[in-house]
Copies of this chain bind each other. A is one copy, B any other.
Amino acid sequence: MPLKSKLSMQIEKRKMIGVVGGMGPYSGLDLIKKIFDLTKADQDQDHVPLAMISVPHKIEDRTKFLEGATDINPGIEISRIVNQLSQQGASFIGMPCNTAHSPAIIKEVYNTMPKGVTFINMIVEVIKFIQDKYQGVDRVGVLATAGTIKANVYNDQLIKNNLIPIILAKEEQKELIDESIYNKDFGIKSKSDPVHKNALKNIELAIESLIEKKAEIIILGCTELPLAINSPSYKSVPLIDSTMVLAKSLLMYLNQKVLKKTINKKW
């Protein structure tokens, strides 16, 4: 075997996906499940190397930080986890939490990125995915936590890419989405298996409101949302599962050849 090919095989072998879990814990699991589901594999050994660290008690709530309810930047702990995953051998790192991609949080991560590690930005990947698969679409609905909305996480990226963000009115945001995620009795962070019917109903109302506002496509821009809504569309409006996009991108970066051709061509 020629030296170069042997070397490239060794490098190939070293590649590993790293998952920053814990935001929330079930979203971390959901990402990993989607990575496995999208992998061409008919035996254990065909699956991709992956490490996850989930230390939720150490990571301050992202929305609380963005809304000024705490001074502790969750990005500091996230950055520590990214570095730990890198020590583990992870080359491509994903973080299944849209809110944590807010500039004020993620700058901590980018400022301390270990050498040789690529951080796959979920927001950037979602926009790329829409531009690739839904050419001609202009009006993009965004369902996300108040923190993500307030920090313009998706808005800024959409506008930069000549797309028009459609968001909920402030009251709808609070009642329909924030409650569905954070409410201690029926929010997805408390009850996700199964998701409580109140949460489900409110999210559906939020989707309908975005459709009324003429959204042509809707981003499920909080990794808790696909735990409630796992259909690829609602009343024929495509729903973009940000976790699924991240799973697909991580596999594409790791090794395009392992990506399964799925039944639903949109993925």
Q: Which residues of A contact B (CB under 8 A)?
A: 13, 16, 21-26, 29, 32-33, 36-37, 41-47, 49-59, 61, 84, 87-88, 182, 184, 189-190, 193
Copies per complex of this chain: 2
In the complex the two chains form, is B44's CB within 8 Å of A61's CB? yes
Q: Closest B residue to A43 by CB, please name it.
A: B189
In the complex the two chains form, is A29's CB within 8 Å of B25's CB? no
* Choice from B25, B33, B47 contacting A47 with Cβ under 8 Å: B25
- Cβ distance A254 to chain B, nearest Cβ, rounded Å: 12
For A51, the chain B residues whose CB sits under 8 A away are 51-54
- Cβ distance A52 to chain B, nearest Cβ, rounded Å: 5
For A21, the chain B residues whose CB sits under 8 A away are 50
- Provide the bound-state CA to CA distance between A61 and B42, in Å: 13
- Provide the bound-state CA to CA distance between A105 and B37, in Å: 29
In the complex the two chains form, is B25's CB within 8 Å of A44's CB? yes
Say yes or no: A189-B88 contact (C-beta < 8 A), given A29-B36, A36-B26, A49-B54. no
In the complex the two chains form, is B88's CB within 8 Å of A53's CB? yes
In the complex the two chains form, is B29's CB within 8 Å of A44's CB? no
In the complex the two chains form, is A22's CB within 8 Å of B44's CB? yes
In the complex the two chains form, is A190's CB within 8 Å of B44's CB? no
- Cβ distance A74 to chain B, nearest Cβ, rounded Å: 10
- Provide the bound-state CA to CA distance between A26 and B46, in Å: 13
- Provide the bound-state CA to CA distance between A16 and B188, in Å: 24
- Cβ distance A75 to chain B, nearest Cβ, rounded Å: 16
For A13, the chain B residues whose CB sits under 8 A away are 57
